[in-house]
Structure 1
Amino acid sequence: VFVRDPALRRQLGEWYLPLWEEVAAAARDGAAAIRGAGGAAKSVQTGFTDTARTMADTDQFARRFGELPVIIVVCADLAQTHPTDTGLGRLSIVGGGSVYPMAQNLCLALRAQGVATTFTTLLVAREPEVKELLGIPGHMATACHIVAGYPARPFPRRLHRPDVSELAFADRYGSRLSAGEGAR
């Protein structure tokens, strides 16, 4: 659902801000995680090297969430997914395996057109209200929200990425993967 109506976007922004403020307060207090309503731990670590700038930028984003040009609500019909990890006694992550790559591809396609996007899942916590507000059918689930608009600043030219040896391993978790080894 591409939400362009200012009143609808404003309402989504009113719901988004307190969700962000809870996460931001915990991050500022040095917490690694917060407990959700169901008791599951949710990380509040940003993963960025310049935490102060990240927090300032995300605070501004959260305050302006409902003013941004378009909020895309990505939905999924859960009956059409095949999560193979539901019997493992942990939070399922496989069910999003088809919807999140599609959402990321949408973000990449928009970027190729000069449109900036921000991908967030915070507002999914307000799914019943969002579905009612936007007339989303009961059998659909909200998977994420993507805010899109032309950027205020140019896209970054250089991104910091962790070294591949921190993210990928050879044969066993923790075993260093050497350069060029991944495609063998």
Structure 2
Amino acid sequence: MSDLTTDPDALPVLEALHTTPARRYLSTDPVPDEVVWSMLDAAVRGPSGGNSQGWGWVVVTDPDVKKRVAGWYRENWNAVYGSRRAEILAQPPGTPGLSRNGFLGAEHLAEHLEDAPLWIFPVLRGAAGATDPMIGASIYGAVQNLCLAARAHGLGTSLTTLYRGHEDELRELLGLPDDALTMALVPIGRPVRGRWAQPRRRPVEEVVHWDRWGATRPREGR
């Protein structure tokens, strides 16, 4: 499926939850404003601690802004992953962590980030100087709502923070309040490669604990 869905309401919730992988090969076709508003209207229905709703959502289509941020992104990509390209691509199938295809998709995004037609920065007020590691709980549920709404419209997303390290410059570039912090970057566009498939994960039975860590329970009917 690569075209915009004509009836977003037709996608069952559980199917969306199971089939919203990161989509990193995106068309440059613009996203209609009405679809952008629909996705953000779904995003703001997400959970907010104390219903404070201390968030903002910066929609970016300006090529100059994208170009500058994409440069920071590529610097970090090359430092963290690009320098390990040969090592990662030589890993045998089934190796934990980033797979070969996953690496190539992420590499493509790094090289073509500014080509994604739509970026959305979820922004949290009061987070600029925060030291609480749980502060993201007041926005990341809403970010997932955004990604699921995009899925319903046939649009691909990925959630990344690899542009980080330039917060003061980014705050000025986006005109953010002094107390605000971008919590992620979500590039959005129509997928041109890949499919809506379940991301590969460890079996749920291996990671679920009942009442205390290490206590398991058989999963009936499997």
Aligned to 2:64: 7
For residues 157 and 150 of structure 2, the distance between their equivalents in structure 1, rounded to whole angstroms, comes to: 7
The number of residues matched between the two structures is: 155
For residues 97 and 171 of structure 2, the distance between their equivalents in structure 1, rounded to whole angstroms, comes to: 31
Q: Which moved more, 1:150-159 or 1:5-14?
A: 150-159
- Give the C-alpha shift of residue 159 in structure 1: 3.4
Deviation track 1:129-184 (CA, whole Å, cap 9, x = no partner) reads: 1111111111111111100011112533343232112221012212223215xxxx
List runs of 5+ in structure 1 lacking aligned partners.
32-44, 87-91
- Give the C-alpha shift of residue 96 in structure 1: 0.7
- Do the aligned partners of 1:4 and 1:70 also contact (CA within 8 Å) in 2? yes
For residues 18 and 8 of structure 1, the distance between their equivalents in structure 2, rounded to whole angstroms, comes to: 16
Please point out which of 107, 128, 140 is paired with 2:168: 128
Identity %: 31
Please point out which of 174, 184, 206 is paired with 1:144: 184
Which structure exhibits the higher relative contact order, with contacts defined as CA atoms closer than 8 Å and separated by 6 or more residues? 2
For residues 173 and 158 of structure 2, the distance between their equivalents in structure 1, rounded to whole angstroms, comes to: 21
List runs of 5+ in structure 2 lacking aligned partners.
1-57, 89-94
For residues 194 and 86 of structure 2, the distance between their equivalents in structure 1, rounded to whole angstroms, comes to: 31
Q: Which has the higher strand share?
A: 1
Query: How is 1:145-184 mapped onto 2 (pairs within 5 angstroms)?
Result: 145-179=185-219
Please say if 1:78 is aligned against 2:126.
yes
What is the root-mean-square deviation in Å for CA atoms of aligned residues?
Answer: 2.4
- Give the C-alpha shift of residue 26 in structure 1: 5.8
Query: How is 1:42-121 mapped onto 2 (pairs within 5 angstroms)?
Result: 47-48=97-98, 51-78=99-126, 92-121=132-161
In the superposition, the TM-score normalised over structure 2's length comes to 0.63
- Give the C-alpha shift of residue 76 in structure 1: 0.2
Are the structure 2 counterparts of residues 124 and 7 from structure 1 closer, same or farther at C-alpha, using a change threshold of 3 Å?
Answer: same
Please say if 1:19 is aligned against 2:49.
no
For residues 7 and 165 of structure 1, the distance between their equivalents in structure 2, rounded to whole angstroms, comes to: 47
SS in 1 for 2:154: coil
AA matched with 1:129: E
- Give the C-alpha shift of residue 64 in structure 1: 0.6
- Do the aligned partners of 2:157 and 2:187 also contact (CA within 8 Å) in 1? yes
- Give the C-alpha shift of residue 105 in structure 1: 0.5
